[in-house]
Amino acid sequence: MNEATLEARLNGVLHALSPTVDKLRIKHQTTFVLQLGHRAIQIDGEVRDDARGRLDVLIDTDTTPIMPLEH
């Protein structure tokens, strides 16, 4: 199964499983920033205090992330 198929099926499955799914927001191909605490660490040879990435799917309610999904 490729990413596009996963994302298409996920919306239908979540709506079928949960009557409160209308309160959930499903974002596809979203970027995120992970804060790494009070001190910088080394990532790929560079000292940083955050890390950035891209998720296939992020399920959240308003501003609270609930579940990241990666294929």
> pLDDT (tens digit, 9 = 90+) per residue, 2-52?
777 877 788 778 777 766 666 777 788 888 777 777 877 887 788 888 888
Question: Residue 22: what pLDDT?
Answer: 64
Q: Beta strand 50-61 with 25-35: parallel, antiparallel or unpaired?
A: antiparallel
Residue 33's domain comprises: 3-69
Tokens for 11, please give them.
Answer: 């919306």
Q: Over the chain, what is the mean pLDDT? A: 79
Question: Residue 32: what pLDDT?
Answer: 79
- Shortest CA distance to 65 belongs to which of 31, 16, 41, 42? 31
- Rounded to a whole number of angstroms, the CA Rg of the chain reads 15
CA triple 5-10-13, angle to 5 deg: 125
Total domains in the chain come to: 1
Q: Calculate the dihedral angle through the C-alpha atoms of 13, 55, 67, 36, rounding to the nearest 10 degrees.
A: 180
Predicted TM-score (pTM) of the model is 0.57
